[in-house]
Amino acid sequence: MTQQVLLEVNELSCHFDVSKPWLNRMIEREPQRFLTAVDQVSFSVNRGETFALVGESGSGKSTIAKLIVDLIHPSSGDIRFDGQSLPNTRGEAFKTLRRRIQMIFQDPFASLNPRWRVGDIIAEPIHAFGLAKSQVEVTRTVEELLDKVGLAGRDRHKYPHEFSGGQRQRIAIARALSAQPDFLVCDEPTSALDVSVQAQILNLMRDLQDEFGLTYLFISHDLSVVKHMADRIGVLYLGSMVENSPSDQLFKQPAHPYTRMLLDAIPDHEMSGRRRKQVTGEIPSPIDPPSGCTFHPRCEFANAKCKQQRPAVHETQGSLVSCWASEEGRIATITG
């Protein structure tokens, strides 16, 4: 039997140095300054599951995606994929491991090389990882993949500019699949698309998940998309994971005050008369985050403890929550 957990992220942190140049610092006597983009985030993703990360701009969603595909190196913490540590593996072993993790980017106009034919774009991972023995086999695989994502095999002769946004995103998906991955990191894959096209892409992604047994890390700022796709959801705020719950649980009984606020902010497009509370404030600067719980300046349940001490993760009804108010039972639970 294979292991249940495919990806495990342990106390992952990522700091960026945003100091002034060395000479300026010496003259102006200023210390180095760091921006904490990801702050001790832990979560795990089970095989065949979709784990979603949500949060506002600047909450660290995309940084986590880049850390997982090793586009940037973590400052501390560990990422274990199928039992092996990603940041500590190098060389040939890393290449084998890395093939199994592929990424789909947000903007399909920027993620495809405009000078390459679609067939070459999709064939590149096949060549890079040596997955085919002959050119004939490469061509056949490319055509199969194009067919899988709802395009025609002969489209491989075209250039990216001949396709619409939705079709380009299909090409990006085909390219990701050509490496035969187990795990796809999808960074806002539909936010550049119109809703009717978004529906097509989301349906396609679910079909492919069933067919290939893929595991997704799905990053989005759109909670209704996340609800449609995810089994488990992690809510990020200023680089910390404030809540990690099964999807149904999160929408029924959001435990963290920030999650509640996010849910209240979703426009009610069905005009169901859902009760909502006015959202206040904006996400603070990650260079100089608030003390204690970083959400306390916007939180209605905050008290002196929240301002001083960083909340630890505790578990309630299957959710992992970092909130003093929730832990001490200061929040009346809401249902419905």
Partner 1 sequence: MTQALLSVRDLVVEFPKRKTRLTALDKVSFDIHPGEILGMVGESGAGKSLTGAAIIGLLEPPGHIASGEIWLKDQRIDQLPYDQMRRLRGKRIAMIFQDPLTSLNPILTIANQLIETIQTHLPLNDKEARARAIQLLDEVGIPAASKRIDDYPHQFSGGMRQRVVIALALAGEPELIIADEPTTALDVSVQAQIIDVLKRMCHVHKTAVMLVTHDMGVIAEACDRVAVMYAGRIAEIGEVRQIVKQPQHPYTQGLMGSIPSITERVERLTQIPGSMPRLDAIPTGCAFNPRCTQKIDRCTEDRPDLIATDQGQVSCWLYEGDKP
Among residues 99, 117, 206, 314, the one that binds partner 1 under rule CB under 8 A: 206
**Judging by beta carbons within 10 Å of its beta carbon (0-12, 13-18, 19+), is residue 166 exposed, middle or buried?**
buried
Which is closer to partner 1, CB of 131 or CB of 197?
A: 197
CA dist 97 and 78 (Å) reads: 15
Rounded to a whole number of angstroms, the minimum distance from the CB of residue 279 to partner 1 is 5
Verify binding: residue 134, partner 1, rule CB under 8 A.
no
Which is closer to partner 1, CB of 142 or CB of 205?
A: 205
Verify binding: residue 196, partner 1, rule CB under 8 A.
yes
**Chain centroid to CA 318:** 21
**Kind and range of the H or E element at 233?**
strand 232-237
Among residues 2, 57, 134, 335, the one that binds partner 1 under rule CB under 8 A: 57
Contacting partner 1 within 237-276 (CB under 8 A): 248, 251, 261-272, 274
Give me the phi and psi of 42, to 5 degrees please.
-130, 135
The residue type found at 38 is: V
Which is closer to partner 1, CB of 72 or CB of 202?
A: 202
Q: Give SS3 for 189.
A: coil
Contacts for 14 with CB less than 8 Å, ≥ 6 apart: 36, 37, 38, 60, 63, 67, 72, 74, 75
Binding letters toward partner 1, positions 78-117, x by CB under 8 A: ----------------------------------------
Rounded to a whole number of angstroms, the minimum distance from the CB of residue 270 to partner 1 is 6
Rounded to a whole number of angstroms, the minimum distance from the CB of residue 83 to partner 1 is 32
Q: Dihedral of the CA atoms 322, 48, 220, 291 (nearest 10)? A: 20
Which is closer to partner 1, CB of 9 or CB of 37?
A: 37
Verify binding: residue 221, partner 1, rule CB under 8 A.
yes
Q: How far is CA 33 from CA 61, 226, 288, in A?
A: 22, 34, 9
Verify binding: residue 164, partner 1, rule CB under 8 A.
yes
Contact 86, 105 (CB under 8 A): no
Q: Diameter of the chain by CA atoms?
A: 68
Contact positions vs partner 1 (CB under 8 A): 56-57, 164-166, 194-200, 202-203, 206, 221-225, 227-228, 248, 251, 261-272, 274, 278-280, 282-283
